[in-house]
Amino acid sequence: MHQPPTMRDVAERAGVSPMTVSRVLHDSPAVSAEAKTRVLAAVNELGYHRNEVARSLRLGRDTGLVGLVITNLANPFYSQLAVGVESVLAEHGIRAVLGNSGEDVERERQMIRDLVARRVDGIIVVPAGNDQSHLETVRLRGTPVVLGARPPDGVPLDCVLVDDFTGARAATVRLIDAGHQRIGFLGLPPATWTGSERFRGYCAALDAAGLPLDDRYVRRVGRGHGAAERAAAELLGLRKPPTALFSANNRNTIGAFRAIRAAGVDTALAGFDDFELADTLGLPLTVVSYDAAEIGRQAGRLLLDRMLDAADGGADGPPRRMIVPTTLIDYP
Amino acid sequence: MHQPPTMRDVAERAGVSPMTVSRVLHDSPAVSAEAKTRVLAAVNELGYHRNEVARSLRLGRDTGLVGLVITNLANPFYSQLAVGVESVLAEHGIRAVLGNSGEDVERERQMIRDLVARRVDGIIVVPAGNDQSHLETVRLRGTPVVLGARPPDGVPLDCVLVDDFTGARAATVRLIDAGHQRIGFLGLPPATWTGSERFRGYCAALDAAGLPLDDRYVRRVGRGHGAAERAAAELLGLRKPPTALFSANNRNTIGAFRAIRAAGVDTALAGFDDFELADTLGLPLTVVSYDAAEIGRQAGRLLLDRMLDAADGGADGPPRRMIVPTTLIDYP
DNA sequence: GCCGTGGATGATAGCGATAACATCAACCAG
DNA sequence: CTGGTTGATGTTATCGCTATCATCCACGGC
């Protein structure tokens, strides 16, 4: 097995010093056309490409790698986010190093340590828990950090969020405008940012319309299989059932759909998150849609910005917060 | 901004030489308990972790990085594959460097070049085109390569595939067993491996049952929006329409579903790929299901294997081909 | 007392690239 | 014809780590 060629090999073949090769590869103007030609020829003949590991070590930075720590890549929302990140980074010749934390803070912590040890130029992370002190530590040590899809908690980090509040409010308003006065809420565990913002949007819409918030119409649904459908069925089974439901994510929307169909009622339905086949359910449905990849793209841009600052010696400005807008879609 | 601590810093603080620190970090037995304690204390106090870039350069290998080039990460199939890869690699402290080729061979080629320049220890790739010569070149130069979801084409590479043939045949047999004699096929562009294997499975089932293959019942569907539905509608509009349809992927299955519902007929339906909400369509449906993450896991294992061989000086064995099985699921 | 033996530790030399400085020829102004 | 200027190239040292060899001390057998 032959080793990959080094700059020295190229230099010998071209009859110049390694330094000249380096200059050619950097498009330095201080190289004669003739030397440049010879070097490029040698590069081609040997199939040479620069050893990025050595380069990074020498420069002490600029590995061209960015850490991307995600809670659950199997979830289309996060994989789209990853696509967005990747596309922005790729334009700048930077690659993402993947980490799937599985919502486990300890794994997240290990991954961050590992990424720092690998000297990545920055990190984009969907934080798994509320303790983000390790992320702040990393940032203070000089590695830019941007949060995706979840807000910073007590630490001054950049982040990109969905406009959960406005989206939830708009969907609820749509139901109210259609004449509904008793609107059930199928929410998420309250500890999550997304869950509480969407609930806040729901409340705000009711409030603005002068409708009372009735706790009997509010259900928080965990991850369990069928939990959403059961909760929706409960609401529909009340003595005075809601005439419409607003569900806080696509899982809940699907559960609500099943419950409505099983009960044979014509309860109106609106929900956060668009999903495939939403138009085939055979019942009117309003969904709050947004561009998940855009979250990734914006996070990527924020990070690139910080990376440039850091390279310049970095007067790191105040934390920034980007909000990705939502739109309402009515099916069918 | 302070630089991260180096091994030298740790050594000074612990009153030993860098070499001793290195030994401690490698769990070498040739270190006194006392020195070890002092070094570990210094490591903690400084928050030191080894510079992996320098380590890799010194060793001339073992970056602990593996390239993962995917055609379309936004597709749940491939993101699940990525999850599988990541999980296996993570067990070995290895991370994946992501690349999204978008089915563009030229981008794939560039990414592979870049990954090799970064000295990744191996590459898993879902190849975008039929020209895989660049992959073979990379392998011959010492970087193991494993293909995911698509077979090698003229080059001796390891790969992991879905059992497209058997799955398609089984689904078609299920339709035949239900008494259907005229079964339409909604296929994929014939140049794709998956498309041709699934068609082969369909044909084999017909053949085994003594049924004729009728070309009028066979449609190849491209990517266009609504193309599947139109093709299905054509089949349903024939003078003697098929009484059942077999569709070669979930996109086509959904299109077929729409067409069947629009036509108000009770054509039976079976398709490759499971998908969410398949049970809510309100019509009997058989799908060919498989574990996409398993493809990634197996690819990861094949690659790890090759990486070990390569580290040992590598008598690289013959190419291996793993087949991930499928199962039939009947909805509702 | 001397030498081997073995365990702990240190010194040295790179891995491949590049910043910073050194060199050297060619050329022109005075 | 000399000194300074410019442009092209080479030399040196170094990034942080570790394989390899060298060193050094303690101990025990003869």
pLDDT score of A240: 93
pLDDT score of B283: 86
SS3 A264: coil
Q: Is nucleic acid strand C under 7 Å from B31's C-beta?
A: yes
Tell me which chain A residues have a C-beta less than 8 angstroms from the C-beta of B277.
254, 275-277, 280
Read off the DSSP letter of residue A102: T
Interchain pair B117, A52: CB under 8 A = yes
pLDDT score of A309: 83
User: pLDDT class for A286, splitting at 50, 70, 90?
Assistant: very high
In this model, does residue A169 exceed pLDDT 90?
yes
Q: Is nucleic acid strand C under 7 Å from A57's C-beta?
A: yes
Q: What's the pTM value of the predicted model, to 2 decimals?
A: 0.92
| Distance (Å) of CA A301 to CA A23, A69, A134, B73, B222 | 30, 16, 22, 20, 34
Could you report the per-residue pLDDT of A40-77, keeping only the tens digit for each?
999 999 999 999 999 999 998 889 999 999 999 999 99
Do residues A4 and B115 touch, judged by C-beta distance below 8 A? no
Tell me which chain B residues have a C-beta less than 8 angstroms from the C-beta of A68.
98
State the amino acid at position B252 in one-letter form.
Answer: N
In this model, does residue B267 exceed pLDDT 90?
yes
Could you report the per-residue pLDDT of A84-132, keeping only the tens digit for each?
999 999 999 999 999 999 999 999 999 999 999 999 999 999 999 889 9
Give the Cβ contact number of residue A13 at 10 Å.
Answer: 18
Torsion, CA B223, CA B229, CA B233, CA B236, rounded to 10: 100
C-alpha B120/C-alpha B107 separation (Å) is 18
Both structure tokens of B64:
């602990």
SS3 A18: helix
CA neighbor of B99 nearest in space, from B87, B89, B88, B113: B113
Which residue segments constitute the domains of chain A, with CATH numbers given?
A: 7-50 (1.10.260.40), 65-162+293-321 (3.40.50.2300), 164-289 (3.40.50.2300)
Interchain pair A97, B95: CB under 8 A = yes
Tell me which chain B residues have a C-beta less than 8 angstroms from the C-beta of A315.
none
Footprint of strand D on the protein (CB under 7 A): A 15-20, 23, 29-32, 34-35, 54, 57-58, 60; B 3, 6-8, 18-19, 22, 25-26, 50-51, 54-55, 57-59
In this model, does residue B129 exceed pLDDT 90?
no
C-alpha A169/C-alpha A181 separation (Å) is 15
Q: Is nucleic acid strand C under 7 Å from B22's C-beta?
A: no
On average, the pLDDT of chain B sits at 93
pLDDT score of A178: 95
Could you report the per-residue pLDDT of A221-238, keeping only the tens digit for each?
988 888 999 999 999 999
State the amino acid at position A99 in one-letter form.
Answer: G
Q: Is nucleic acid strand C under 7 Å from A19's C-beta?
A: yes
Strand partners, B159: B147, B321
CA neighbor of A116 nearest in space, from A142, A93, A77, A87: A142
Q: Which of B53, B73, B96 sits opposite A83 (nearest CB)?
A: B73
Q: Is nucleic acid strand C under 7 Å from B13's C-beta?
A: no
User: pLDDT class for B89, splitting at 50, 70, 90?
Assistant: very high
